[in-house]
Each structure stands twice: as structure tokens, then as C-alpha cells.
């Protein structure tokens, strides 16, 4: 085995987004493209020689090939030990768990999360630091800067590692350990939740559940935890075999793309509880029988009931939510007398709060919820949290949510996504909107009066770093909000996200359909931002 030094030239498009570098598979397959980015990661780190690196992905197309390249490059660059999930599999929260448990320097996670897979689908690479969380902006900025001047990379001339057999291999002076992808994560879950109580509850004969893994990474985890450890009936986990193209589906756990689960949960003789997770296992959707729980409400309910769960019996230090997430968690935090932090979108912004002990639970409206047990959002963790609460309270999902609304009021909420909008059109919309902000406060729009209008900026309370231009907010005097932002998770064009929120205290009005209740705000949003005129779209691609 010899170390090869390969001459290369920079690619101009390797700037990481909110969740690493995401491109279509053919882009990553270009000669030197993946290698350049991996070497840029290594070149941006200090003191990594002899250290431990974790590697794994969501099983999508190109996952295995990319891992072989990364293993050989890690060996050529002097890492002492690499832990890689069996079959190349590690869910994103499991990777965070493994990084933390084994005190690794960091980890490389291969995923494009909820984006489609396959030969023409999406692929992604992101670096997580030693706390298990996504690299902060100062690290990703350094990676990008290095990628723009890189002129060579190192790779070991060696045979591929057998990823399917749990064993230890040697690549040069590097020890490569193929580990069981599930074991460490499942042990952490059992330490947080009352598995015996959950098992008794779901095997009582009076409760049925359905878990949909969308042919993505959580299939092996869900089968091991729900069907084998908790003794749920075989078949409880549907679409549980990870496939390189996710079975031709879109591994995004929402009402549109998780259609198999929605059909079950809104059909005749529906189960009591349903949940779906996404491509890399960090997102979740929670459903009751004929009932959808918004991610914002899910975070608020978990926070309000946290002391019912063993891992959180001592209470919460604080709650953190992304800016576009509804203000429902704020109301829980106020009642509990704890802080609620409003951060930009992107899980990396929660890392400092969690590390500093300022927050315990955190979540985003984009179907991500998590806590201080790892430094990523965690889909199956959220499912187990809900099941533990259900086992204690012995109420239905709908009853628990409606009880919550009766106590705190309902933050009626919806997100409208306009996907694959031409980037120039999307940027023009946002630039035009920003130009209007100073004139909006005090204006009457329909039956609403504008209280404030700004482009959200966040100052991290731990390290003082500032993140600006994180989304346009228009807030009204009655507490309603409209938020506009461009997503950084797609690979084609731009995704315009419109978030709408209105608070309703009257329990008699809590059963309103969100699209009806938010109708006036939807119209105002279109008029203010000229959505139809500037995007050419007369309706959103996805409504959640």
C-alpha cells in the first residue's frame, strides 16, 4: 500500500450549505470532485493525525463508493482509527452518538437528507465536529476557502474494505473498524426512555402503531428497536429496507411524500399511532388516528410533558427553536419559567446552546426534533418520546394535543414550499421584499396591522457570533407572523419557503383547518412578496 499524491484543480461550487455540500450524484462522480472536498475537510482540521474519524451514510446511491474513497484518503492523511457503519450505514443521529461515545475528532456523514436518491438523484457530504454536531460556520467557511485553492489530495493505493462484515481491517497505518450501525444508538435510547413501560403499552392488545422508514436509513434501527426490543408485531415497520433510490420515493416525512403512512393513518381501522422518518433518520412526522401533529406542536408537547420521561425527569434547562418554527414552544417555556431561544434554521445553531447547558430540547418546523443526548435532530428519538408519553398518559395522540391547546392556546401554522424556483427569480423576490421592510411597520394589511418587519439576524449567546439575512419576518400586532426564506437544502434552483402563523386562544376555534384559518395571511403574503408574479407559480409544490 502506497500513498499517492494526486494533482488537482479547484471546483468553484463547493461551498457547504446549511447541511454540508449537496449536489446531484453525477456532480460528485466527476473526477477529483469528491476527493477535493474531502481533502479540503482534512486540510481545515488541526491535529487529526492519529485521531478517530467516524464515517457513514444513509445508504443512498453512491454511498458505498464514496466511503471507500474516504477510508483510503483518511488512511493516507494519517488518521489512526476510522469507525464505519456496517454496510456503510449510519443514520445522522447515530453518527452523532458514535462520535460522542468514542470521543472521535469528528465524522463525515454522507447524505442529502430528505432529497431523492438514485443515479440522477442527490448526494451530500457534511463534516460533524467532536461534539457530534454539524460543523459551525467558521469550520465550513474554512473548508470552502481551502477548496478554492486546493491543488492536490492524498489517497492510499489499496483494495476496498468489506463493509458488510463486522471486523477490523488495516489500511496503511490506519485501523478501520466496521461496527454494528445500530448497537450504540439503541443503547442510548434505552437509557433515555422507559422501554419496559413502552413495551407493555404497545403489546397490551389495545394499541397499534405503524412506523414508515420510507426505504431509508432508519429501517434497521426501527426493526431492531420496535419489533425486536419492544416486541411490536412483525410488519409494524413498513418500507423498512434501505434502498439506494428509496424505492423511487421521496424520503421526506410529510403529508405529501409519506403517502403510504398517511393512507394507513387516515384510512379505515387506522392504528393509534403512526410515524415516519426521512432519508438519514434525523426528521420525523407524528400522526394519530386521522390526526396530524405539526412539528412545532410536537416540540411544544414534548417539552410540556418532558418530566414524564426518565431521561428528562429533572426538567429542562431551556428550549430552542428555529426562527420559522411556530411560537408554540415559547408558551411552554414561559409557563415552565425557562428560556426559549430563537435561532436561524440549521441544527448547527443549536450546538452551542446544548453544549453550554442553556437548552435541553430543540426543534425545527421542518420535521426535526432533538435534545442534548446527541447534537443532531433525531427522528426515532422523537417517536420513542411520544410513545413514552402515550404509555404514561394513556390518551390518544389527538387527546394529548387538544389538551395542550386547551392549556396554551393553538398556534395555527402552515408552511408553503415553492420548490425548484429559478434562482434569479427567487433572489429577486427576496431582494424586492427586503427593500420594502422599512416602510411596512404601522401599515394595515387586510385586517392586520404590521408591528415589525425585519431580516432576521442572530447573535449567538454563547460565542457572540452573528448570522445575518436569515429570513424575512413580518409580524402583526395580534401575534400573527409571515416569514419568507430560501432553503439551502436543495440541489436545483431555489426553494422558497413561506411560513404562516396565527394564535388562537378560543378552544371553540381550535379545530379550524389551517389553510382556512390562515387564508387572509396567505393572500397578504402573496401581495406583499408578489409570489405568483415573481415565481410564475400559482400554488405551492408542498403544503405542510
Residues contacting 128, CB < 8 A, separation 6+ = 54, 95, 96, 99, 106, 107, 108, 109, 134, 135, 375, 376
CB atoms within 10 A of CB 386: 25
Residues contacting 117, CB < 8 A, separation 6+ = 60, 61, 123, 244, 245, 246, 251, 279
Q: Cα(111)–Cα(19) distance, rounded to whole angstroms?
A: 9
CB atoms within 10 A of CB 304: 23
Contact 220, 239 (CB under 8 A): no
- Is residue 213 annotated as a catalytic residue, yes or no? no
What is the Cα gyration radius of the chain? 23
Kindly state the DSSP code that residue 314 receives in the 8-state scheme.
T
Catalytic, out of 19, 96, 111, 113: 113
Instruction: With CA atoms as reference, report the closest residue to 39 among 1, 11, 81, 2.
Output: 11
Q: Cα(64)–Cα(449) distance, rounded to whole angstroms?
A: 54
Q: Cα(49)–Cα(267) distance, rounded to whole angstroms?
A: 56
Contact 537, 531 (CB under 8 A): yes
Contact 86, 112 (CB under 8 A): no
Q: Cα(504)–Cα(402) distance, rounded to whole angstroms?
A: 13
- Helices and strands (H and E) in the chain: how many: 18, 27
For the chain, what percentages of helix, strand and coil (3-state, to nearest 5) are there?
Answer: 35, 25, 40
Residues contacting 456, CB < 8 A, separation 6+ = 323, 344, 470, 471, 472, 473
Q: Cα(58)–Cα(524) distance, rounded to whole angstroms?
A: 40
**Mutual angle of helices 328-336 and 397-408, in 10-degree steps:** 70
Which residues are tagged catalytic? 113
Amino acid at each position: 500500500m502506497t500513498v499517492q499524491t494526486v494533482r488537482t484543480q479547484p471546483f468553484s461550487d463547493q461551498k457547504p450549505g446549511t447541511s454540508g455540500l449537496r449536489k446531484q450524484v453525477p456532480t460528485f462522480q466527476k473526477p477529483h470532485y469528491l476527493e477535493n472536498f474531502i481533502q479540503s475537510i482534512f486540510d481545515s482540521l488541526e491535529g487529526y493525525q492519529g485521531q478517530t474519524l467516524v464515517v457513514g451514510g444513509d445508504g443512498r446511491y453512491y454511498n458505498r463508493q464514496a466511503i471507500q474513497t474516504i477510508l483510503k484518503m483518511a488512511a493516507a492523511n494519517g488518521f489512526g482509527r476510522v469507525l464505519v457503519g456496517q454496510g456503510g450505514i449510519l443514520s445522522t443521529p447515530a453518527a452523532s452518538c458514535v462520535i460522542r461515545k468514542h470521543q472521535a475528532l469528528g465524522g463525515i456523514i454522507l447524505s442529502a437528507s430528505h432529497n431523492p436518491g438514485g443515479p440522477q438523484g442527490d448526494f451530500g457530504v457534511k463534516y460533524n465536529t467532536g461534539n457530534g454536531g454539524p460543523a459551525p460556520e467558521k469550520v465550513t467557511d474554512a473548508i470552502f476557502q481551502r477548496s478554492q485553492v486546493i491543488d492536490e489530495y492524498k489517497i492510499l493505493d489499496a483494495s476496498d474494505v468489506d463493509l458488510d462484515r463486522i471486523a477490523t481491517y488495516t489500511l496503511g497505518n490506519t485501523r478501520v473498524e466496521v461496527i454494528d450501525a445500530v448497537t450504540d444508538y439503541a443503547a442510548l435510547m434505552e437509557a433515555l426512555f422507559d422501554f419496559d413501560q413502552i413495551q407493555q403499552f404497545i403489546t397490551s392488545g389495545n394499541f397499534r402503531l405503524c412506523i414508515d422508514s420510507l426505504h431509508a436509513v432508519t429501517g434497521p434501527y426501527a426493526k431492531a428497536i420496535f419489533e425486536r426490543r419492544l416486541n411490536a408485531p412483525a410488519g409494524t415497520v413498513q418500507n423498512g429496507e434501505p434502498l439506494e433510490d428509496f424505492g423511487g420515493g421521496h424520503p421526506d416525512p410529510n403529508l405529501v411524500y409519506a403517502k403510504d403512512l398517511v393512507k394507513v393513518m387516515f384510512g379505515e381501522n387506522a392504528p393509534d399511532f403512526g410515524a415516519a422518518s426521512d432519508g438519514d433518520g434525523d426528521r420525523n412526522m407524528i400522526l394519530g388516528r386521522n390526526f396530524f401533529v405539526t412539528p412545532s406542536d410536537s416540540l411544544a408537547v414534548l417539552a410540556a410533558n418532558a418530566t414524564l420521561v426518565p431521561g428528562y425527569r429533572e426538567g429542562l434547562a431551556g428550549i430552542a427553536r428555529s426562527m420559522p418554527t411556530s411560537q408554540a414552544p415559547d408558551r411552554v417555556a414561559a409557563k415552565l419559567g425557562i428560556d426559549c431561544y430563537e435561532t436561524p434554521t440549521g441544527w448547527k445553531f443549536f450546538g452551542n446552546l446544548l453544549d453550554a447547558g442553556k437548552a435541553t430540547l430543540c426543534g425545527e418546523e421542518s420535521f426535526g426534533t432533538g435534545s442534548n443526548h446527541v447534537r443532531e435532530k433525531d427522528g426515532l428519538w422523537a417517536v420513542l418520546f411520544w410513545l413514552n408519553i402515550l404509555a404514561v398518559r394513556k390518551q390518544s395522540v389527538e387527546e394529548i394535543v387538544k389538551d395542550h391547546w386547551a392549556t396554551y392556546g393553538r398556534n395555527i401554522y402552515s408552511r408553503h414550499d415553492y420548490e425548484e424556483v429559478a434562482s434569479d427569480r427567487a433572489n429577486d423576490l427576496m431582494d424586492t421584499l427586503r427593500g420594502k421592510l422599512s416602510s411596512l411597520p404601522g401599515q394595515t394589511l387586510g385586517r392586520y396591522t404590521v408591528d415589525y418587519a425585519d431580516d432576521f439576524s442572530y447573535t449567538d449567546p454563547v460565542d457572540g457570533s452573528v448570522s445575518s439575512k436569515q429570513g424575512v419576518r413580518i409580524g402583526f400586532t395580534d401575534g400573527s407572523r409571515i416569514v419568507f426564506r430560501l432553503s439551502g437544502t436543495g440541489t436545483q434552483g431555489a426553494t422558497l419557503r413561506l411560513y404562516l402563523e396565527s394564535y388562537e386562544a378560543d378552544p371553540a376555534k381550535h379545530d379550524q383547518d389551517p389553510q382556512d384559518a390562515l387564508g387572509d395571511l396567505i393572500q397578504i403574503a402573496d401581495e406583499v412578496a408578489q409570489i405568483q408574479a415573481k415565481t410564475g407559480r400559482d400554488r405551492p409544490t408542498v403544503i405542510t
